[in-house]
Amino acid sequence: MDNAVYSSVETPAVLVDLDIAERNISRFQAYCDEHGLKLRPHIKTHKLPRLARFQIGKGAVGITCQKLSEADAMTEGAGIDDVLITYNLIGEAKRERLRALAGRVRLSVVADSAAVVDDLSAAMDGSGHQLTVLVECDTGARRCGVPTPEAAAELSGRIASSPNLRFGGLMTYPPVGGTSAVQDFMTRAKTLIETFGTPVETITSGGSPDMWRAHEAPVVTEYRPGTYVYNDRSLVERGICGFDDCALNVLATVVSVPDPHRAVIDAGSKVLTSDLLGLTGHGYVVGRPDIAVDSLSEEHGRLVSQEPIGLKVGDRVRIVPNHACVVANMLDAVVLTRGAEVLGYEPVAARGKVW
Amino acid sequence: MDNAVYSSVETPAVLVDLDIAERNISRFQAYCDEHGLKLRPHIKTHKLPRLARFQIGKGAVGITCQKLSEADAMTEGAGIDDVLITYNLIGEAKRERLRALAGRVRLSVVADSAAVVDDLSAAMDGSGHQLTVLVECDTGARRCGVPTPEAAAELSGRIASSPNLRFGGLMTYPPVGGTSAVQDFMTRAKTLIETFGTPVETITSGGSPDMWRAHEAPVVTEYRPGTYVYNDRSLVERGICGFDDCALNVLATVVSVPDPHRAVIDAGSKVLTSDLLGLTGHGYVVGRPDIAVDSLSEEHGRLVSQEPIGLKVGDRVRIVPNHACVVANMLDAVVLTRGAEVLGYEPVAARGKVW
């Protein structure tokens, strides 16, 4: 790349091009609008209140978070008032924060067992708020979630009859390629629950890899993509977008060129992370498809090419990482840009929020 | 594990047992003392000034850092005054910090090319300080480093004749199993350089996997292990230590038990990271060798066992991660313990310092 571009930015750095991010947001919002789907983006990718506000401004119904501490970081003073936490929240330590958040925003959470439902009910006791709880369903990812529509119906009944809780619907995070499994599971679960006279207000699914197929599961009322805001190499490899649609890049400097086919950059796993997502190599060097990022240590990334690598010490490269979400979690701040223009550093408000 | 232990700690958390860490530090210091080796621990593993001070108190000659920002975080107000940065530092943006650090502590850095040497010389211009520069040598890791003893000798001459710099010796980060390659390379390079009448003050090598074999390369004067302070699953698998020697654990809570052979915990790649270091699975569940941590997403860790998993929602587990250094980089603070006693949160001063 031209070393004069971003020359004011110290490396390694995580660059976020707002033009591209905003285009990605608008494009999928238009798709959701066309198909009558509510969009509730997962903030785990950007972790930035300003982009969450942009998403809501374009039409998103609220945000998705994975943890209470993420929700706190995203909503405190940010003007965001509708949050779904797609995580089983349990334990004494989380109760006070759960009640405080429920008093501040329109909050929904999930549960996939009686133990979690009972814990949530106890947590809300005396809070004066009723908490909306969705049943998490396993539509094939084999992570969390009740295993069958029958189990979903049973747990919905427990939620509906628990003090301080109201049943809000069904939630799933399907495996890639799981759209039709979602349709089948959710249709059956909805029918069962409605048989008991309980309305199923929301059926929410997610995942950027299948986001353009969301309409193929018409039972779903709401979609929760995360990565779509930035995109990454894993989504390019799946054919979901092009490298020009990748809003998050890592800017790095060549610190060593030990032989004509190898260069070492100052970005290692502390920036790019070791996430492979099934790919080979640790990222795409923009403009250099001949180069492989073939190994990382914490502060070094090794670039190799069968061609003469043609880089010298001090040159800069931009890398599209395999997985944008985890890269956004590594540094305290990202550098916002619009094309070649550098806007400045933006603290990653929800970085490292695992509670 | 007994859920009452560490019950005051919110999960997920990174626990650091100071008793074990101090024992690890003392044990390797004794080995170095026995063999007349200087010990200069790499702080990339713990990133905590208090443990660096303990290491120096036991006899370490100083610390090793990878980046200027790490060195700043480790030395500001910490009473540490001898730092080796084993990284090619280049570029305008780093010059001011380099000069400031060189004015504050006894600083050595490395270089593996004329370009880096010239940049360092220019950086120190007018600072009033002479910077000690070691030549980084590639003894088989194929990352950075000059490729041959002859190239090391040539670069030592350039350092010695550059304004503001003095030649400090030779540095390498060898591959695992590279002890004899280090001995061969360094002996040859030392001989060549001394032929020119230049003394080779320091020959420094590193790596925890081979630390107990350091004496088998007697040409080496100084050793720079990092992971040894905490140890991890990768070192246990290599036979370097036992799980009882692992000072860093991840404490997690079971949030879902979707079937009798599977449980999901609240620690995913945002705490455990995706580093495999050649291993299968993402950590060792203490006391449960039957369990595999077979997949991670950002906030979920999946535990599977061919036995009945015998865990329920709310249970806690401790996990020895594959790679301690990268786990210590994920959260803003670790929880210090001595056995079952919880001492409190300690900010990870050098977390995320990549500049």
Residue of B nearest to A351 (CA): B331
Closest CA to A323 of A247, A232, A261: A232
Angle at B2 between CA B293 and CA B272, to 5 degrees: 30
Residue A78 has pLDDT above 90, yes or no: no
SS3 A88: strand
What pLDDT does A122 receive?
97
- What residues of chain B lie within 8 A of the CB of A355, using their CB? 10-12
Nearest chain B Cα to A44, which residue? Answer: B298
* Average pLDDT of the residues of chain B: 97
Interface test with A, best of B67, B251, B256, B322 (most A CBs within 10 A): B256
The predicted pLDDT at position B286 comes to 98
Band (B324; pLDDT cuts 50, 70, 90): very high
Contacts of residue B295 in chain A, CB cutoff 8 Å? 143
Q: Residue B2's pLDDT is what? A: 87
pLDDT band at B112 (very low <50, low <70, confident <90, very high): very high
Q: Is B208 in contact with B233 (CB distance < 8 Å)?
A: no
Residue A238 has pLDDT above 90, yes or no: yes
pLDDT digit string, tens, across residues B288-313? 999 999 999 999 999 999 999 999 99
Bridge-based pairing of strands A301-305 and A291-296 is antiparallel
Mean pLDDT of A210-231: 98
Minimal CA separation from B313 to chain A, in Å:
7
- Arithmetic mean of pLDDT, A83-104: 96
Q: Where are the alpha helices (DSSP H) in A139-250?
A: 149-160, 179-195, 233-237
Per-residue pLDDT at A2: 87
Contacts of A147 in chain B (CB under 8 A): 258-259
CB B237 within 8 A of CB B248: no
- CA contacts within 13 A on the Cβ side of A244: 1
- Mean pLDDT on B326-341: 98
Q: How many CB pairs under 8 A join A and B?
A: 165
pLDDT at residue B216 in the model = 98
B258 to A119: CB separation less than 8 angstroms, yes or no: no
Q: Please count the other Cβ atoms lying within 10 Å of the Cβ belonging to residue B23.
A: 14
Chain-chain contact of B113 with A66 (C-beta, under 8 angstroms): no
| Cβ-Cβ contacts under 8 Å, B66 against chain A | 298-299
Does B12 sit behind a cis peptide bond, omega within 30 degrees of 0 on the bond before it?
A: yes
Tens digit of each residue's pLDDT (9 = 90 or more) over A134-171: 999 999 999 999 999 999 999 999 999 999 999 999 99
Burial of A52 (0-12, 13-18, 19+ CB in 10 A): buried
Which residue in B has a C-alpha nearest to residue A66's C-alpha?
A: B299
CB contact under 8 A, B298 and A66: yes
Strand ranges (DSSP E) for chain A? 13-17, 38-39, 63-65, 82-88, 106-111, 131-137, 165-172, 202-206, 222-224, 248-259, 262-265, 284-285, 291-296, 301-305, 316-320, 333-338, 341-347
- The mean pLDDT of B196-214, rounded to a whole number, is 96
> What percent of chain A shows pLDDT beyond 70?
100
Is pLDDT above 90 for A77?
no
Please judge whether B355 and A10 are an interchain contact, meaning their C-beta atoms are less than 8 angstroms apart: yes
Burial of B294 (0-12, 13-18, 19+ CB in 10 A): middle
Mean pLDDT of B242-268: 98
Of A153, A68, A157, A61, the C-alpha closest to A109 is A68
Sign of CA dihedral A18, A21, A24, A26: negative
Question: What does the angle CA B142 – CA B63 – CA B13 come to, to the nearest 5 degrees?
Answer: 90
HEC secondary structure over chain B? CCCCCCCCCCCCEEEEEHHHHHHHHHHHHHHHHHHCCEECCECCCCCCHHHHHHHHHHCCCCEEECCHHHHHHHHCCCCCCEEEEEEECCCHHHHHHHHHHHHHCEEEEEECCHHHHHHHHHHCCCCCCCEEEEEEECCCCCCCCECCHHHHHHHHHHHHCCCCEEEEEEEECCCCCCHHHHHHHHHHHHHHHHHCCCCCCEEEEECCCCHHHHHHCCCCCEEECCHHHCCCHHHHHCCCCCHHHCCEEEEEEEEEEEECCEEEECCCHHHHCCCCCCCCCCCEECCCCCEEEEEECCCCEEEEECCCCCCCCCCEEEEECCCHHHHCCCCCEEEEEECCEEEEEEECCCCCCCC
Please give the C-alpha separations between residue A181 and each of A148, A174, A186, A205, in angstroms, as whole numbers: 12, 8, 8, 11
Question: What pLDDT, on the 0 to 100 scale, is given for residue B78?
Answer: 78
Neighbours of A29 (CB within 10 A): 18
Per CB-CB distance under 8 Å, the chain A contacts of B302 are 142-143
Contact B174, B214 (CB under 8 A): no
Domains of chain A in start order, with CATH, are: 19-230 (3.20.20.10), 234-347 (2.40.37.20)
Residue A76 has pLDDT above 90, yes or no: no
How far is A296 from chain B, CA to nearest CA, in Å?
9
Angle, helices B114-123/B92-104, rounded to nearest 10 degrees: 60
Q: Inspect the interface and report whether the beta carbons of A259 and B300 lie closer than 8 Å.
A: no
Whether the predicted pLDDT of B90 surpasses 90? yes
Of the candidates A310, A264, A269, which has an alpha carbon nearest to the alpha carbon of residue B146?
A264
* pLDDT band, residue A175 (cuts 50/70/90): very high
> Nearest Cβ partner of B115 from A115, A275, A314?
A314
pLDDT tens sequence across B190-201:
999 999 899 999
Measured between beta carbons, the chain A residues lying within 8 angstroms of B138 are 258
Q: What is the pLDDT of residue B119?
A: 97
* Per-residue model confidence (pLDDT) at position B136: 98
Contact A256 B355 (CB under 8 A): no
Q: How high is the pLDDT of residue B114?
A: 98
For residue B155, the chain A residues in CB contact (below 8 A) are none
Q: Are the Cβ atoms of B145 and A262 closer than 8 angstroms?
A: no
- Nearest by CB to B90, from A112, A253, A332: name it: A253
Does B352 have pLDDT greater than 90? yes
Tokens, residue B170: 């030779």
Please indicate whether, in this complex, the C-beta atoms of B258 and A10 are within 8 angstroms of each other: no
Residue B76 confidence (pLDDT):
87
Q: How far is B213 from chain A (nearest CA, A)?
A: 22
Which pLDDT value is given to residue A112? 98
**What Cα–Cα distance (Å) separates residue A87 from each residue in A56, A222, B275?**
22, 17, 24
What average pLDDT score do residues A310-328 get?
98
Mutation for A interface: B116, B137, B143, most A CBs within 10 A: B143
**Arithmetic mean of pLDDT, B57-74:** 98
Range with lowest mean pLDDT among A73-82, A232-241, A300-309, B257-266: A73-82
Residue with tokens 């997690």: B252
**Of A11, A239, A312, A27, residue with least CA distance to B116:** A312
| Partner-chain residue, chosen from B67, B147, B257, that has the shortest CB–CB distance to A259 | B147
pLDDT at A1 (0 to 100): 79
CB contact under 8 A, A313 and B90: yes
* B16-33 residue pLDDT tens: 999 999 999 999 999 999
- With a cut of 0.85, is the ipTM above it? yes
- How much is the pLDDT for A222? 98
Which residue in the set B90, B256, B258 is minimally distant from A314, CB to CB?
B90
- Chain-chain contact of A314 with B112 (C-beta, under 8 angstroms): no
pLDDT at residue number A272: 98
Shortest CA distance to A216 belongs to which of A189, A241, A187, A240? Answer: A187
Q: Could A354 and B66 be called an inter-chain contact, meaning their C-beta atoms sit closer than 8 Å?
A: no
The pLDDT of residue A79: 84
pLDDT at A298: 98
Beta bridge partners of A153: none
At residue B268, does pLDDT exceed 90? yes
Query: What is the pairing mode between strands B165-172 and B131-137?
Result: parallel
Cα–Cα distance measured from residue B85 to residue A135, given in angstroms and rounded to the nearest whole number? 52
Contacts of B56 (CB under 8 A, 6+ apart): B62, B63, B80
Cβ(A74)–Cβ(A350) below 8 Å: yes
